[in-house]
Structure 1
């Protein structure tokens, strides 16, 4: 029987920053699914990994969970340039909640991700997440119905070029302007050069990501983003 010469795909999990978003526990939820899908998984706890051009060039997917903390740590110019260039060259990038959206303020990083966290009400809310009808056949959300989440509800600035897969309705009082509730993106995809990007706003706690629909959506998003 011939031996397969296929090279397994590589995933790099970059985690750290503010412990309130449980970067270790939340990423550990998805590492088994990546391995089951045939990825060799490497874990990094330093942002300097984004300066390793050779490593990133051989990486098919970066999963990031790194939220800014009290030190307001941002990407250095070299770290940002390394990550953004790798994704533009074809490395996938994916993550959830503050691990991506409340991570860094570097302009090039934000252009790549397509969104930035601004605000959430101080209390947890139960809110409805609705799958976008026009993208219901997308492989990340195909077959999934609308679902409820009890957690932080993110108010964000997002890029008009995102492909929004799911939205929620945000109370107008939280927008500071009054009037009717407004739709807010919850999950989206986008392209950055040759690379694919997946972002979900859900995932403040491990419990959020364990919910069956959220977990399915997130796992599919990670796999979709990979090269």
Structure 2
């Protein structure tokens, strides 16, 4: 069995919708019968990382209560170090959509991802995703309603494998790299259940998980 642990949902993103999207993607895996999927709360992340799961998926922004006057975050200094050590020692990490948003840019976690969310145009927009840079039409592209993430990225030290174009110009939508003995993958689509269930997004998410599981 391989174990995948997922932290999903926050103030802006439905945990229920993310579960539906993730489960459909996992169902596409060739070894899906061997996958044990466990959902955790942010309070349980430290404990579960100590059990060395094969993949840890984070689809939860750092801010717990972003609309309040005093905003709290869940990534403690201790957990920040633990996440990075988990990957260094051979774990695999997927930062999915909100999993790269509102974190401290100087955290070990964001340094490990080598990129982070900057902003997205208001609401849902028509976004074209491209498997090849600047190839805006053709079989290697697809268009859907989504939040187009614009990101800060250390492009020299990662492999970009997904691009996007939309109302606010072009951006990068996916990247991956090795980190220590482990692997890191970042994937910006999608914001809601409809987007996650888009066949192209679902297939790509399954590919990312497969890459992370391939030791």
TM-score normalised per structure 1: 0.78
| CA distance in 1: counterparts of 2:4 and 2:48, whole angstroms | 14
Report 1:32-181 matches (<5 A). Answer: 33=27, 36-51=32-47, 54-55=50-51, 57=52, 59-67=53-61, 68=63, 69-70=65-66, 71-98=71-98, 100-105=99-104, 107-132=107-132, 145-160=140-155, 161-169=157-165, 174=168, 181=169
Return the offset for 1:131: 0.8
Which 5+ residue runs of structure 1 have no aligned equivalent? 1-7, 134-143, 175-180
Give the direction of change, closer, same or farther, for the CA distance of 1:147–1:72 in structure 2 (3 Å limit): farther
Return the offset for 1:40: 1.6
Partner in structure 1 of residue 197 of structure 2: 210
Larger-gyration structure (1/2): 1
CA RMSD of aligned residues (A): 2.2
Give the direction of change, closer, same or farther, for the CA distance of 1:122–1:209 in structure 2 (3 Å limit): same
| 8 A contact 2:58–2:94 mirrored in 1 | yes
Which 5+ residue runs of structure 2 have no aligned equivalent? 134-138
Q: Where do 4+ consecutive residues of structure 1 move more than 4 Å?
A: none
Give the direction of change, closer, same or farther, for the CA distance of 1:125–1:16 in structure 2 (3 Å limit): closer
| CA distance in 2: counterparts of 1:127 and 1:17, whole angstroms | 23
TM-score normalised per structure 2: 0.82
Number of aligned residue pairs: 197
| 8 A contact 1:47–1:79 mirrored in 2 | no
